[in-house]
A and B are shown apart, each in its own frame.
Chain A
Amino acid sequence: MSVPCLEISNLSATLANGVRVLRSVSLTVEPGVVTALVGESGAGKSMIGKAVLGVLPPSVKIVEGHIALEGIDLGDLKSKARRVLVGERAALIPQDPLTALNPSRRIGPQMTDRLVHILGWAGDKADRRVRQLLDEVQIRDPDRVMQSYPHELSGGMRQRVLIAAAFAAKPRLIVADEPTTALDVTVQKQILRLIAELQKEHGTAILFVTHDLGVVAKISQNVSVLYAGKVVEQADTPSLFASPQHAYTRALMAATPRYTDPLASLKPVDETVLAGLASEIAAADRDWVAP
């Protein structure tokens, strides 16, 4: 058995008022595998990604559970050691490339900074690496792009830049947080293809956060379905689509529009499914004792 790239076990997080926002979440991302986290807004899917990277908002406290990156429990590390380890082995592809980039700095230094300052690479090595990655994300003239400011690039180009930046530091794990949600469909397809190609080539594991079951089907090998901070179903992706086990998963699939079968899609989620979920969550909270 190989050591999982990411192992989250029994993770719970609460807000200041004691309300749980993550409810005993356990999930594993194997090396080189894309695992999707899918759910609707408020399900806590981005929260899990943030917990892994150690960038949770101050209002959210992890109250129990473990996060291990390549077998190293992040909870055992002092905060500086943790930042270094996460900085070396993990990276983020964010949803909105415009807010993720500093508008007043050129692209080039924004991409090399991380390599130089966090990973301690020499400037020319960082520069070569960034150019190589820009080439891999099919940016034809890296000089112009590295000289540009974020607003001078299209949305698709900016997302390519961030993908290149994420892969540049040779991370073992990438957290991709809705990386194609802000893009047009034709650009989304190019970006998904790019992520899939780079992921295979570099053998990187990806925790892919999305609300879109279509994207889950196309990009991931495994999937966890979240509702209200609780994992309601986990499966390998083909099995999830072939035989969804949880009523909520089935309801989500029926609600998702598909042009190939317009009448069978877009079904509102049944009240009984929602009631079932509510009682499941209530039962989980009843049995849970805050540590």
Chain B
Amino acid sequence: MNAKKYGKIAYDGLVTNNATFKLVLGTCSTLAMSTSAVNSFGMGLSVTVVLLLSNVIISLLRKIIPNTVRIPAFVVIIATMVTLLRMVLDKYIPDLYDSMGVFLPLIVVNCVILGRAEAFASKRPVIDSAIDGVATGLGLTFALTFIGIIREFLGSGSFFGIQVTDFRIGFFTNAAGAFFVYGICIALFVFVANKAEQARRVKKMRVLRKPAAIGPLPPVTESSEREDG
């Protein structure tokens, strides 16, 4: 029972409500940080950490924070988490800290985090919120890394920093390429999601039709089939 519920929360965060491709939230950091796969992976994980911590804390405090001042309270909690993350990255992973630049403090205003706090963590128990935070964060990390891999491969001919070919198209590493690749990726996600939805509907129809065809009411099916024909 519980496992099923947690599984659904995780699946929603990872796929159904994918922050980057489905909800199109947190676009600024997605576009800016996806120049290389390593950068986008680092950005994704940073957002995941902040999302997990802020979701857990907000969920714990959800009965204490008055409803009228909840947004400022959430923002302060998230800002504190980002400040902590910034100190940790500055000390232990200075390369990532440098490459993220101004987009590290801007995690505070990443709409994904405030969105999850408002829509999920402020209403649900701690474990649910923690799972939701990790799932949403990982969904975002996968999406970011996917865009990062494409842009890095086409733009500088490498894969996670390892040089693969000499072939490169500068377009993909600059701003215009970011918009282009992101747009195409969203279109691809929508296309696949639509196809999956269609397949599911067809399957459902078959399941519904089957008992009717061999069930106790043959005349009805016959008439309906005749109408179809």
A binds B: no
A residues in contact (CB < 8 Å) with B: none
B residues in contact (CB < 8 Å) with A: none
